[in-house]
Amino acid sequence: MSKVLALGGGALVGLACFLPLLSLSVTIAGFTGNGNLHATDLTAGKVALVLAFLGVLLGVVDLRGGDGTLRRPAAACAIVGAAIVVYKSWRLMSEVNAAASTTNFVHVSMGLAMWVALIGAGLAFASDFVGRD
């Protein structure tokens, strides 16, 4: 079970890299534009995706015939990747909010990526506390 949790954590962090970090809406003179920023649009997001892929790869190797020694490195890769996604999401959100605080035509909201990355990191972290297979 613990190997599956480490594998699932890496998979969720990898999925989070393709989900929107931020959703931005700009309204100027009655015209509205919407956009999303994905983690893969940023260099840090690509690093997080590589870490998530490495976590999944280590998890698969450990699940297929390993003795459980690759579970912790797989979980660590997923947790570090999730930390990158969450940090970039919070940082970009605060930067846009600071820039838009003097105006009221820009609205930004947190995307789904941060929450999926947090769930993935939680699964990867929980893999260390579940009984060994």
pLDDT score at 132: 59
Closest CA to 13 of 100, 76, 60, 101: 76
Provide, rounded to the nearest whole percent, the portion of the chain with pLDDT above 70.
98
Give the CB-side neighbour count of residue 130, counting CA atoms within 13 A: 17
- pLDDT category, 67, cuts 50, 70, 90? confident
Paired tokens of 46: 């690509």
Paired tokens of 126: 């929980």
- 2-25+33-126 classified as CATH 3.40.640.10: no
Interval 105-111 mean pLDDT:
83
- pTM for the full model? 0.85
Paired tokens of 50: 């590589």
Domain definitions of the chain by residue range: 2-25+33-126
Give the CB-side neighbour count of residue 91, counting CA atoms within 13 A: 10
Interval 5-13 mean pLDDT:
90
